Amino acid sequence: MRRIRIFDTTLRDGEQSPGVNLNAQEKLEIARQLARLGVDVIEAGFPVASPGDLQAVQLIAREVQGPIIAALARANKTDIEKAAEAVRPAARPRIHTFIATSDIHMRHKLRKTPDEVVAMAVAAVRYAKGFVDDVEFSAEDATRSDWDFLCRIFAAAIEAGATTINIPDTVGYTTPAEYAALIRYVKENTPGIDSVIISVHCHDDLGLAVANSLAAIEAGADQVEGCINGIGERAGNAALEEIIMALRTRHDHYQVETGIVTEQLYRTSRLVSTLTGMQIQPNKAIVGDNAFAHESGIHQDGFLKERTTYEIMTPESVGVPQSRLVLGKHSGRHAFRVRLKELGYDLSEEKIERAYERFVELCDRKKHVSDRDIQAIVEEEVVTIPELYALDYLHVTSGTAAVPTATVRLLKGSEPIEEAAIGDGPVDAVYRAIDRVTGIETQLVSYTLSAVTSGKDALGEVTVQIRDNGSVFVGRGTSTDIIEASARAYLQALNKLIYDRQKFAPSMAG
């Protein structure tokens, strides 16, 4: 049976989502989860973009085993050299080089003739081939390019040593039938195409990324590229979890297979959402909170009589947790540890202990602690950034006839530091008090509050984004007290900011 390769670009194209800024440890954590998921290729970054991106790709190349580790490079020597340096530690390295091929891009962006573009592509592939055996070549904006020119440049890239040819719908312009026709045309009219992998990479500007990707697979594409949760530039990329489950659920139609461990999809989705700060809409296919929820009486009646009346796949098939072990304040560490493993978490003892302490605190506040509550607690502990400041004490006074006032005590190491402030509201007052303690001035870019679970005692989840000298840092906090959750989220973002400053300018650490 034909096997479709899954190329994940969450750490490269996905990180290009506005407001997303992952540090090296966060990227590594996602890469490790992608390896558990079973993706074939992890595009770990764009090394020439920054020293931090190069270091992150190197870290992933060194630490993550299994998938091919790819780095992106434009069609020039500097980019390719940086990409080669970044993927050198990988057991299976790939350099992914690209150049634009549409008339509009060649004329207005590159200001090059078609002949010059072909020459640049050939030179780039040959140069990359000197560093690695595995070279992917992409024709940027392929779906708005002349089809015969695409065949010409692909043939030249293959002759130069490319092992994968990517036909991207860079601006989400094409339609399924049109894209399938393009794939077939390239296959039929490109010399040497049978000796390489044909890849597709679709954006979602018209909401067609997944449909276009599936149409391309039917037309003969061997590799599909995308991001977890469909994140990425502008409207995002094709959502890999949707493509994967479409291929699995409609195996009778597509007649292909992947190497994906689908039970890891939900866990991967939640991790990416947590670390990027990009919330998953409730009605998101496969991984949204409502994907396996039934409210209509007619649906409930049919579902209770026979699950398949309204569910075409099981929650378990994508790793959506089902309660099997009831946990409460009297549960011990052993039961908690077992439940974490059942939920798919493999944490160090230190992280388990911290999560357990948060769990016990939550049990004192809630009657029922659900799997989703446990996930929210653990996800806050997934990536450990050194905490210069930790929340020790918080008191807020607010009301319709009172000036919102907050008193905050933070621990800097073992040293307690306390400050008070007033604000436009209780959260603003807390943030101003924290700013006084840390002495760090930053810009709050976004603040999002959502309920993790239902009920009056629901666990609140706050996600904030702060900006410092052009960099954006995401923080996340959970608590049944939304003011406490807000403080935790803000402190996590500030600690990430401080960690980032310390790497490049220790004297600015605060």
Both 300 and 333 in one domain: the answer is no
> Do the Cβ atoms of 290 and 283 come closer than 8 Å?
yes
pLDDT of residue 255: 97
Both 200 and 57 in one domain: the answer is yes
The model's confidence at residue 507, banded by pLDDT at 50, 70 and 90, is very low
In sequence order, the 6+-apart residues with CB closer than 8 A to the CB of 146 are: 103
Both 368 and 469 in one domain: the answer is no
Higher pLDDT, 461 or 506: 461
Angle between helices 265-276 and 240-249 (to 10 degrees): 170
pLDDT of residue 299: 65
Category of 255 on φ-ψ map: left (φ > 0), alpha (ψ -120 to 50) or beta? left
The model's confidence at residue 324, banded by pLDDT at 50, 70 and 90, is very low
Last residue of a domain, one of 222, 247, 276: 276
In a domain, 499, yes or no: yes
- Phi and psi, residue 207, nearest 5°: 75, 25
| CA trace torsion 258, 261, 267, 270 (10° rounding) | 0
Both 36 and 179 in one domain: the answer is yes
In whole angstroms, give the CA distance from residue 239 to residue 209: 8
**pLDDT reading at 506 higher than 90:** no
- Exposed/middle/buried for 503, CB within 10 Å: 0-12, 13-18, 19+? middle
Higher pLDDT, 289 or 327: 289
* CATH number, residue 399: 3.30.160.270
Both 190 and 295 in one domain: the answer is no
Both 270 and 356 in one domain: the answer is no
In this prediction, residues 269-297 reach a mean pLDDT of 86
Residue 6, strand partner residues: 224
In a domain, 282, yes or no: no
Domain that residue 355 falls in: 321-379
Task: Show the beta-strand stretches assigned E in 111-236.
Answer: 134-140, 164-169, 197-202, 223-226
Both 96 and 167 in one domain: the answer is yes
In this prediction, residues 46-61 reach a mean pLDDT of 96
pLDDT of residue 505: 58
In this prediction, residues 424-447 reach a mean pLDDT of 93
pLDDT of residue 89: 98
| CA trace torsion 41, 47, 53, 59 (10° rounding) | 60
Report the share of the chain in percent with pLDDT over 70: 92
Q: How many domains does the chain have?
A: 4
Both 265 and 298 in one domain: the answer is no
pLDDT of residue 228: 98
CB atoms within 10 A of CB 335: 14
Report the share of the chain in percent with pLDDT over 90: 68
In whole angstroms, give the CA distance from residue 381 to residue 384: 6
Both 205 and 327 in one domain: the answer is no
pLDDT of residue 314: 86
In whole angstroms, give the CA distance from residue 288 to residue 273: 11
pLDDT of residue 384: 62
Both 178 and 299 in one domain: the answer is no
In a domain, 281, yes or no: no
pLDDT of residue 468: 86
> Do the Cβ atoms of 158 and 165 come closer than 8 Å?
yes
Give CA 48 to chain center in angstroms: 20
Q: What pLDDT, in 10s, does the model give residues 457-466?
A: 677 889 999 9
> Do the Cβ atoms of 82 and 52 come closer than 8 Å?
no
Angle between helices 349-363 and 333-342 (to 10 degrees): 110
Angle between helices 349-363 and 371-379 (to 10 degrees): 130
In a domain, 253, yes or no: yes
> Do the Cβ atoms of 314 and 308 come closer than 8 Å?
no
Last residue of a domain, one of 217, 245, 276: 276
Both 176 and 240 in one domain: the answer is yes
* CATH number, residue 51: 3.20.20.70
**pLDDT reading at 327 higher than 70:** no
In a domain, 84, yes or no: yes
Last residue of a domain, one of 379, 400, 423: 379
pLDDT of residue 380: 66
In a domain, 286, yes or no: no
Q: For the ranges 149-158, 229-238, 356-365, which has the lowest average pLDDT?
A: 356-365
Write down the mean pLDDT value for the chain. 90
In a domain, 234, yes or no: yes
Least Cα distance to 32 among 7, 1, 3, 67 occurs for 67
Q: What pLDDT, in 10s, does the model give residues 348-397?
A: 888 888 888 888 888 877 666 777 778 777 776 665 677 899 999 999 99
pLDDT of residue 210: 98
In a domain, 479, yes or no: yes
The model's confidence at residue 451, banded by pLDDT at 50, 70 and 90, is confident
Both 209 and 62 in one domain: the answer is yes
pLDDT of residue 300: 59
Q: What pLDDT, in 10s, does the model give residues 76-123?
A: 999 999 999 999 999 999 999 999 999 999 999 999 999 999 999 999
